[in-house]
Amino acid sequence: MSRILRIFTITFLPLLTLVLGWQIGVAMEQQGVRELEENLRILYTGQSGSGILMDDPEKNVNPAIMWGVWRLLQKNYITPERLKTQEMLYGAVGGLVAALGDPYTVFMTPSENEDFHESLEGKLEGIGAELTLREGDVIVVAPLKGSPASEAGLQPEDIIVKVNDKEVEGQTLAKVVEQIRGPKGTSVHLSILRSGEDELLEVDIVRDEITVPSVEFEVKKTATGSVGYIALNQFGDGSIGEVRRALESFKQEDIAALVFDVRYNGGGYLEGAVELSSFFLKDGKVVSVQRRSGEPVHHYVSGHVLVPDLPIAVLINEGSASASEIFAGALQDHERATIVGKKSFGKGTVQEVFDLPGGSSIRITTAKWLTPNGRDLGSEGIIPDIDIDRTREDREKKRDPQLDAALEWLLDGEDVTKKM
């Protein structure tokens, strides 16, 4: 089996592996009923045949217990047609992983794994929102730009309480996502808890095919000069190449500065964040990866700088996560850019994706991110240099005070928050 697909910085979707289950099965066949009885005695009484109390699960774990339960269900459950082996196995594996309480460490069934990769490629059907699980709540990380979720007014930090009037409390993230997703043209009703609101917000969203443009760019002409504007909506396949082409196109324009927009960008590939930062930094560290043991592994710029000196402002908000935070944090620590907007989401852990048999996979948190100056992105996030909000009313009226503040700072050199 392939050890790693890639290193990710994401958020989305909630083992005993198939191999482990098979090995236990063989052992049980060989050792027979006596061992099964012993395992069941441990399961029900907490004691082994020798009378030793199994009071320290860290030292006395016996995975054969699961196989014993499996056998009991197969033999005794009243409705045998409901004993679907594959679904039961996936449920056992998913429960094992979910017990960690880490929303970013998830087991993905073949269909969830396929959806995961399609989302990175910018293709899926649904409402177009990135979700995570935090302390049992299903939280909106970011609505994708131009998606039904965005058009319906979903915001970062919204809590999804009900889907189609059914409570989601206690459900896994994968189960909630499964209920929200659906074919293009169908609708889903969400009950939303939002900070500052006294009552639940009831929202109907018509699902659509979600095609996320990775990069959008233009030249914004003002009375005091022209500024290149690039919006990076995700760190997906081909995104960095698109940014490179946008930067190359700006060489034909007489721009005085650059605005780089990673608002609502929930992240993607680590190497994408490093390569993107390398476009603007001449040298130095981009990010450090701190694993469970050993010294941090440092990632440095590639040396392929494209824009070494042009003034830059980076736009962030509560939906900027993971790779977006790495990029903004690197430019902020090197004093290469001014960060404008609201504090980022604070998704500062590393996930590695491992392929499993049958098309399933597991995404495991293996490390955390540190900025060049050693800031822990997971606990601190990115604090903007210019703190300015964009309200729901601003969005509805097509106003963008965060972009306006960035343009004024770049062209006039003034912190607009001091004039408000």
Q: Look at residue 204 and give its three-state secondary structure.
A: strand
Residue 59 CA to residue 30 CA, distance in Å, equals: 25
Instruction: Write the single-letter amino acid at 265.
Output: N
Annotated catalytic residue within 347, 360, 361, 368: 347
Pairing of strands 285-291, 361-370: antiparallel
367/304 Cα distance (integer angstroms): 27
Give the residue among 381, 379, 360, 391 at the shortest CA–CA distance from 1: 360
* Residue 206 · residue 126 · CB < 8 Å: no
Extract the tokens encoding 107.
């087991």
What residues are paired with 206 via a beta bridge? 187
Distance of CA 211 to the CA centre of its chain: 18
* Angle separating helix axes 270-278 and 323-333, nearest 10 degrees: 30
Per DSSP bridges, beta strands 386-387 and 338-341 are: parallel
Helix (H) or strand (E) holding 76: helix 64-76
The secondary element (H helix, E strand) that includes residue 131 is strand 129-134
Q: Identify whether 333 is a catalytic site residue.
A: yes
- Taking the C-alpha atoms of residue 143 and residue 266, their distance in angstroms, rounded to an integer, is 9
User: Would residue 415 show up in a list of annotated catalytic residues for this protein?
Assistant: no
Catalytic residue from among 150, 239, 333, 344: 333
Q: Report the alpha-carbon distance of residue 213 to residue 250 in Å, rounded.
A: 19
Is 322 a residue of the active site?
yes
CA separation (Å) from 252 to 202, 228, 243, 247, 279? 48, 11, 15, 10, 18
Structural element, H or E, at residue 225: strand 225-232
Q: Return the structure tokens found at 214.
A: 């990775």
**122 SS3 class:** coil
Q: How many residues does the chain have?
A: 420
Strands (DSSP E) contained in 317-381 are 338-341, 349-355, 361-370
Active-site hit among 119, 288, 322, 344 = 322
Segment (H or E) for 228: strand 225-232
Active-site annotation, residues: 322, 333, 347
